Chains A and B, each alone.
Chain A
Amino acid sequence: MNVLVNSAGFLTSVQGLGRTGYRQSGVSIGGALDTHALRVANALVGNEDAAAGLEATFGKLRLRFEDERIVAWCGGAFSARIGDEDLPPGHPGLVGKDDELLIVAPSAGSRAWLAISGGLDTPVVLGSRSTDLRGNFGGHQGRALRDGDFLPLRDVDLETAAPWKDRRIAEFSAPATWASTAKRDRFLRIVRAAHWDFFTSDAQAALVSAQFTVTPDSDRMGARLDGPVLERIEASDLLSEAVAPGTLQVPPNGKPILLLGDCQTIGGYPKIAHVITVDLPIAAQLWPGDAVRFHEIPLAEAQELLREREDDFARFRVGLTLHAR
């Protein structure tokens, strides 16, 4: 069975948890810019974490289904409807055959992740169904969706997945902080990076005190930030080395770039800091014009926060099996 893309919106692509194991060939990890949001949405519809869903940028997405499915979404302050009925973030909902699911432009934030029970059945390329939009492979024909596309879905047994389905929208939901990730005050926690000491004390102080603004030339590779110029003590060329989503690198113009999922595997700009993994969901909502600030924490705390979130997620999954009973 398929889902028909009536309207593909601004930029929608098939994404899973990304592609690992091919960095040595220069292949980015890619995948959902907020993998946690996709995992939560997948859990809500009874999918495994890594099932492929859709990443919608700025909404205007309209889908029509050929069979009955459970859907759920997490992300920015979008509004979504199944027919005339609101589908709030983090709630599983039932779409019937020929029903239309609509996700409209957000009032805050920029991206949403939609999971569909069964998951999208686009081909696995280099171990993943995620679309590599720069490399033009994976996902649906290696590209963003277009109006009129048909996307194959994997088979699923709805009876076991949605025993609550006498209602259209389930009453239970994911924790609100996981379901809705657009923030009014965007504080991103950072840890120091390898080249922190290459920067002047003014630059170090500015990074954690000043406000930065996302510029229009931002994309899935990175959010470019305007703000105080972060100066280095001395300018020297560095050899390219591994970078990762969350890395804050600073090109010669002193304006930092916050790398996101589609970032290159290696980079030669000095790294001043890294946004911690549990705050990447906030970073994934950044949109041109948004203001953002940084707050430094110790590395051990960043890792502890991540472990706590993983424990919470494991408990959440267990809790969902109770709803499904």
Chain B
Amino acid sequence: MTIDPLGDSALIVRIDDEFRPDASLNAVLVALRCLEAAELPGVIELAPAYTTIGVFFDPARVAGFDELKTKIERALQPSVEPARPRAETGSVVDVPVCYENEFALDLGEVAEFTGLSEEEIVQRHSSASYRVHCVGFTPGFPFLGGLPAELATPRRATPRKEIPAGAVAIGGAQTGIYPRKSPGGWNIIGRTPLSLFDVQREPPALFRAGDRVRFRKILREEFERSLT
């Protein structure tokens, strides 16, 4: 573990040197719970992502970088192991997806790149099990690990100017869902009627880092029924 400054009011705790899909995520989640439980004075919020946790603090309430670093190291010491919270396994979120043509704008391109038929892509995408590695890019956007390797497809050379809310997409070795209408470069293979981000909810994002996700293929009628 190393700790780097992130400017004068934040720092980054590096939990793992390289990303190991489940192990890194579990280690980050354990560390996140430890830091939350430690309630270090002056710490405002924590931002986990893949192998790191961003720690944002109020410099007026922290003596200095080194002091906070020491406190964080102490909070994350393996010697306090018995008291350490376990990584939450996370919720399991069932995500209905309509993969029909009008929603699967780039399914043809993915088929061409992977050499698989469109049916096979849908079948494999909807039978794999995924995990939320982090939430970001736009409010509520989940970066999901666990995409079957044969479905990996590079991002589009030219990003689309407008991707509809709920679009399920493949970008490189990851898959994700666009919470709202936005530009984006990932390959769209379907669409979910779920609302991924809602300021009336607490927390507003449907997904949290560590959650497990399964995609369930639905027909157009169910998609439309769920929307209303």
Contact = CB atoms under 8 A, between A and B. Distances in A.
B52 A242 contact: yes
A26 B51 contact: no
Contacts of B9: 244, 277, 306
A299 B209 CA distance: 31
Contact of B136 (A135, A194, A264): A264
B50 A240 contact: yes
A137 B56 CA distance: 23
B135 A244 contact: no
A244 B51 contact: no
Interface centre among B7, B9, B10 (most CB of A within 10 A): B7
Interface in A234-268: 239-244, 246-247, 264-266
Nearest to B7: A274
A274 B60 contact: no
B4 A274 contact: no
Given A244-B6, A300-B64, A21 B45 contact: yes
B8 A277 contact: yes
B134 interface: yes
A154 interface: no
Nearest to B65: A299
Interface string B111-155: 000000000000000000000001111111101000000000000
Contacts of B136: 26, 240, 264-266
A118 B222 CA distance: 49
B40 interface: no
B5 interface: yes
A67 interface: no
B49 A240 contact: yes
B7 A244 contact: yes
A239 B19 contact: yes
B56 A241 contact: no
What class of interface size applies to chain B in its complex with A? 35 or more
Given A239-B19, A274-B7, A23 B45 contact: yes
A208 interface: no
A26 B180 CA distance: 13
B96 interface: no
A247 B6 contact: yes
Interface residues of A, number: 43
Contacts of A32: none
Contacts of A324: none
B54 A242 contact: yes
Interface string A123-160: 00110000010111110000000000000000000000
A138 B56 CA distance: 22
B38 interface: no
B208 interface: yes
B204 A27 contact: yes
B5 A299 contact: yes
A134 B48 contact: no
B176 to A, nearest CB: 11
A194 B6 contact: yes
Nearest to B143: A240
A311 to B, nearest CB: 9
Nearest to A305: B8
Contacts of A54: none
A115 to B, nearest CB: 21
A274 B6 contact: yes
A191 B8 contact: yes
Interface string A277-313: 1000000000000000000000110110011001000
B159 to A, nearest CB: 14
Contacts of A172: none
A254 B136 CA distance: 24
B29 to A, nearest CB: 11
15 contacts: A22-B204, A23-B46, A25-B135, A239-B49, A241-B52, A242-B47, A242-B52, A243-B54, A264-B138, A266-B47, A277-B8, A277-B59, A303-B64, A306-B8, A306-B59
Interface of B: 4-10, 12, 19, 44-54, 56, 59-60, 64-65, 134-141, 143, 180, 197, 199, 203-205, 208-209
Interface of A: 20-28, 125-126, 132, 134-138, 191, 193-194, 239-244, 246-247, 264-266, 271, 274-277, 299-300, 302-303, 306-307, 310
Given A271-B6, A306-B9, 12 more contacts: A23-B56, A25-B204, A26-B141, A126-B199, A132-B139, A135-B139, A136-B180, A239-B19, A242-B56, A266-B54, A299-B65, A300-B64
